[in-house]
Amino acid sequence: MDSDSESDGELLPQRSRSTRYRRFGSRKRRHEREDEADSDAADAAEAAAADADVAHPAPGAPNGNDELQSDSDWSVELDAVSFHGTDEDEGEAEADYDPGEDDFVVRIEAEGAGADSDEEDEVPVFGFSHGSLDRVLQFSTVRTVKESFLISLALSKALWKILGRTSSGVVAHVYCGDCTLYIGKRKMLGEQIVCPICHNAVAKEAAKYFVTISLKAQLQHFLSRPGVAEYLKYRERRVKHQEDAIEDVYDGDYYRSIRVDGQELMNSMNFTFTINTDGCKIRRGGKDSIVPVYARLNELPPKLRQKFMFLLAVCVDVKEPNMQCFLKPVVSELNSLSSNGIVWQPYGQAEVLSKFVTICHCVDGKAMWQILNMTSHAGYYPCTQCTYQGVRIDNYMRFPIQHADLPPHEMRTHMGMLRDMRQVEMQVPRPESVRGHRGASALALLSGHDMVKGNAFDDLHYFYECAAFHHTKLILDEAPRVDNGLVGNNYIKQLELISHAAYLLSMDSITDADIEKAERFIKLYLQQYEALFGVGRTRLNLHSLKHAPSSVRLLGPLWCHSTFNFESWNHQVLQLVTSPKGMLSQIVTRHLLRVSLEMALEADEEDAAEDVKGFIAKILGKRRRKDGREVAAHTYVLGPPDQRGPRDAEIHVLGMEGIQCAGDISVYNKVCIRSVDYKTARTQKAHHKSNDSTVFTYQNTFCTITDIVSFTDIEGREICGMFVKEHQVAHPSPFSAASHIKQVLPECYDLPHFIRIQEVRSPVIKVFVDGNRYFIPMPNTTEID
């Protein structure tokens, strides 16, 4: 076999991994050079056509591409859109940006686009012929999955052709490496690029750039997936535990107030986004950082919101990007989707027009100041929810609770933030800031978005990484100990307050009483914190805790807009980078490849064979599990059952519930309820890190599963449930404030019981201390990170 054979059916030679990578990379580059040489004429014609469509450049703007205005232009646009303009005016102002006009072929650096780039919006992002895909994948099964497939196929144009990736709407945008000013689309620029502000000149190959991926193209791809139309009906089909409780983003006051073309979001075909951005280091100790921008569909079921995340833009640089320039193309496309929407056809239905509105931005504190263009925690007005003024103590900015001698403050509003931004932009000389605002924000141009109501509370950084972690550190490092080595009771009682407040605001069903209680506990916590640790310890993140209840009222439980999920996606993006050269190309190419392959996992049998699906799942590191038998809504018993007659004790327990079994019972070891797995106690491994055998019920009881059963009663109804041992809770509770933590009596007090599957609410965290058992129910089953 020829050692240089292509990946068209012949195997790669048995060499070391590094050698195979180098040889494959050289072959890839050689073929790219040949393809580029063959398409020079087509590229030249396409570039000429593109040049004909570009408006004449403004004075000082290079190459006629001035999509993002300089700072002086921001005030004009902000004034027009936010104070005097309408939605129609805003749409016209952004109409010159077409996020899908460029094509992307394997390497971002390649400027040539396909011949169909002008018709990109009419072409699906991905499609595949299962016959072609089957043939390509068959030869790879004789080698290890990652080596054979990822090396010989992942970067080959043959695979892209098989997957039908004619166009993906990826655009490279050049910005100045010195002053971070946006310059233009890379494809439209000449070989020498000059910044119109600082006049820094750089060759095109060396210019800094970031990449945007067409959200419209991604949505068209997503909406073509089987079953997506059913997923998007979750908003109307969900079953609430309490009708007047807040259980998802749809119950928030802000969501219910939004109108699209005069129509409420509920019972419509219009949908909403939550967006996020946050930088992360590529490697520990390294200089380069990756800054992605994500969007998430709020109308999907909670578990699928994390799975189907949209990557909108990526920047890789040593310096942090100018967020106002970085987000401007993203905002332009989001505005287009909210005003023009997408025409698509749900399965078996007529075509519909859906508009997508961005209602929420969920980021950590540092990113929040950057995207809103505000001062950080070192400034006097850094809170993005209110105009509370900090106090400088020992050269540090501190934020004590409101006292009579401190200046009064007010809650921020969207219009108030716009006025402050405009005041900064219009004043000459330009002030450093106005009530924390340093200038215009790209989010101010986001159609229909309220920068205050849509500003989600970040529980990861405020509750857990700041309040809980910082408080615990103060206790362990500085607080006085008692004789037995434990911390003083007043410090523990204070920590209970913030623990229970976070629990209440993260539950799967939150009442007004729960929010009011959390509000009281947070206020009491801040008062006690200042009394115990002093004013010099008060931080901005602690001040921000008091805004958590209002965020829940507006946007739903904390898990709806937590940054936990987005941080998890940052980790996935980092895994796409394997070389310091061409990191943007690696991220975008491999992300799109992964998305296209995941499409095959969702396909019907006629579109992709089951063995191919299994192979792709193995490549992606996914565990494919065949669904068990559905016994109730969103409930599946897993594994083969054991058939036996009911025992005397079981008959007695069923009789106490008014149930009579008509025959044998089917006994299972595992059940999946609302995407959460539960096991019987006898199958639970000893000394394992997790324990799935104990559940919390809607009757507020803790139960350990003995058997998972299904049977038919004497009236012919199928009943699925669990034989359990119900644990007895100690009274009074040792934790007066953190009442969600329960001490459980010894096992001798457990009682046999039978519960129906529908009574199971959540898993349980079990803690054992000095021979005592403490059970804590999970506040919800939707958070997966």
478-523 pLDDT, tens per residue? 655 554 555 667 888 888 999 999 999 999 999 999 999 999 999 9
pLDDT band at 427 (very low <50, low <70, confident <90, very high): confident
- Rounded CA gap, 566 and 215, in Å? 17
- Rounded CA gap, 269 and 260, in Å? 10
- What is the pLDDT at residue 641? 93
In a domain, 691, yes or no: yes
- Rounded CA gap, 710 and 635, in Å? 12
- What is the pLDDT at residue 479? 54
Query: Is 265's pLDDT higher than 80?
Result: yes
Q: Which domain holds residue 711?
A: 629-777
Residue 696: beta bridge partners? 702, 762
In a domain, 130, yes or no: no
DSSP-derived 3-state class of residue 610 = helix
Query: Is 16's pLDDT higher than 80?
Result: no
> For 197-217, how does the pLDDT look when each residue is reduced to its tens digit (9 = 90+)?
888 899 988 889 999 999 999
User: Exposed, middle or buried, 329 (CB in 10 Å: 0-12/13-18/19+)?
Assistant: buried
- Rounded CA gap, 622 and 111, in Å? 35
> For 82-129, how does the pLDDT look when each residue is reduced to its tens digit (9 = 90+)?
333 333 333 333 333 333 333 333 333 333 333 333 333 333 334 444
Rounded (10°) angle between helices 610-619 and 130-140: 60
- 438-464: string of b/e by CB count within 10 Å (b at 16+)? bbbbbbbbbbbbbbbbbbbbbbbbbbe
Which residue is listed with tokens 């129509």?
263
Rounded (10°) angle between helices 323-339 and 215-223: 40
Distances (CA, A) of 378 to 64, 390, 432, 447, 761: 40, 9, 13, 31, 44
In a domain, 479, yes or no: no
DSSP strand pairing (356-361 vs 271-277): parallel
pLDDT band at 62 (very low <50, low <70, confident <90, very high): very low
| Consecutive H or E run containing 611 | helix 610-619
DSSP-derived 3-state class of residue 275 = strand
- What is the pLDDT at residue 691? 85
> For 602-619, how does the pLDDT look when each residue is reduced to its tens digit (9 = 90+)?
655 555 566 666 666 666
Residue 672: beta bridge partners? 636, 677
Cβ atoms of 344 and 398 closer than 8 Å: no
In a domain, 764, yes or no: yes
Distances (CA, A) of 716 to 160, 255, 306, 712: 55, 44, 40, 6
Range of weakest confidence among 242-251, 269-278, 578-587, 705-714: 578-587
Closest CA to 782 of 373, 298, 112: 298
Q: What are 737's two structure tokens?
A: 């404030």
Distances (CA, A) of 116 to 119, 122, 165, 168, 421: 5, 10, 12, 11, 42
Please enumerate in sequence order all residues whose Cβ is within 8 A of that of 338, keeping only pairs 6 or more positions apart, or say none: 260, 355, 356, 357, 358, 447, 448
Query: Is 320's pLDDT higher than 60?
Result: yes
> For 667-716, how does the pLDDT look when each residue is reduced to its tens digit (9 = 90+)?
999 999 988 999 999 988 777 778 899 999 999 999 999 999 999 999 99
Please enumerate in sequence order all residues whose Cβ is within 8 A of that of 42, keeping only pairs 6 or more positions apart, or say none: 112, 115
HSE, side-chain direction, 13 A CA sphere, residue 153: 31
pLDDT band at 625 (very low <50, low <70, confident <90, very high): low
Its pTM stands at 0.79
Cβ atoms of 249 and 539 closer than 8 Å: no
pLDDT band at 596 (very low <50, low <70, confident <90, very high): confident
Query: Is 132's pLDDT higher than 70?
Result: no
Domain tally for the chain?
1
Instruction: Please compute the mean of the pLDDT values over residues 661-665 and round it to a whole number.
Output: 93
Query: Is 233's pLDDT higher than 50?
Result: yes
Q: What is the largest CA-CA distance in the chain?
A: 91
Query: Is 81's pLDDT higher than 70?
Result: no
Which residue is listed with tokens 């946006």?
182
- Rounded CA gap, 387 and 376, in Å? 13
| Consecutive H or E run containing 709 | strand 702-712
Distances (CA, A) of 610 to 225, 485, 685: 17, 60, 32
User: Exposed, middle or buried, 315 (CB in 10 Å: 0-12/13-18/19+)?
Assistant: buried
Query: Is 633's pLDDT higher than 60?
Result: yes
| Consecutive H or E run containing 589 | helix 583-601
Query: Is 54's pLDDT higher than 50?
Result: no
> For 359-391, how does the pLDDT look when each residue is reduced to its tens digit (9 = 90+)?
999 999 889 999 999 999 888 999 999 999 999
- What is the pLDDT at residue 64? 38
Q: What are 37's two structure tokens?
A: 């040489």
Q: What is the CA radius of gyration of the chain?
A: 29
Which residue is listed with tokens 């009574």?
759
In a domain, 648, yes or no: yes
In a domain, 688, yes or no: yes
- What is the pLDDT at residue 272? 96
Please enumerate in sequence order all residues whose Cβ is within 8 A of that of 282, keeping only pairs 6 or more positions apart, or say none: 288, 289, 290, 316, 574, 577, 583
- What is the pLDDT at residue 481? 52
Cβ atoms of 277 and 367 closer than 8 Å: yes
Cβ atoms of 457 and 386 closer than 8 Å: no
Please enumerate in sequence order all residues whose Cβ is within 8 A of that of 690, keeping only pairs 6 or more positions apart, or say none: none
pLDDT band at 53 (very low <50, low <70, confident <90, very high): very low
Percent of the chain scoring above 70 in pLDDT: 73
In a domain, 204, yes or no: no
Cβ atoms of 185 and 172 closer than 8 Å: yes
- Rounded CA gap, 24 and 16, in Å? 12
The CA-based dihedral angle spanning residues 114, 119, 122, 126, taken in that order and rounded to the nearest 10 degrees = 10
Average confidence score pLDDT of the chain: 78
Cβ atoms of 603 and 226 closer than 8 Å: yes
Query: Is 435's pLDDT higher than 90?
Result: yes
Percent of the chain scoring above 90 in pLDDT: 42
Query: Is 549's pLDDT higher than 90?
Result: yes
Backbone torsions φ then ψ of 603, nearest 5 degrees? -75, 160
Cβ atoms of 273 and 298 closer than 8 Å: yes
- Rounded CA gap, 140 and 10, in Å? 9
> For 150-163, how does the pLDDT look when each residue is reduced to its tens digit (9 = 90+)?
444 444 444 555 45
If one compares 189 and 2, the residue with the highest pLDDT of the two is 189
User: Exposed, middle or buried, 229 (CB in 10 Å: 0-12/13-18/19+)?
Assistant: middle
Which residue is listed with tokens 């535990």?
241
Query: CATH number for the domain including 740?
Result: 2.30.30
Q: What are 706's two structure tokens?
A: 């003995």
If one compares 779 and 107, the residue with the highest pLDDT of the two is 779
Query: Is 30's pLDDT higher than 80?
Result: no
- What is the pLDDT at residue 745? 94
Residue 270: beta bridge partners? none
Query: Is 620's pLDDT higher than 90?
Result: no
- What is the pLDDT at residue 565? 86
- What is the pLDDT at residue 96? 38
Residue 173: beta bridge partners? 185, 210
Residue 537: beta bridge partners? none
Range of weakest confidence among 55-64, 231-240, 286-295, 669-678: 55-64
In a domain, 546, yes or no: no
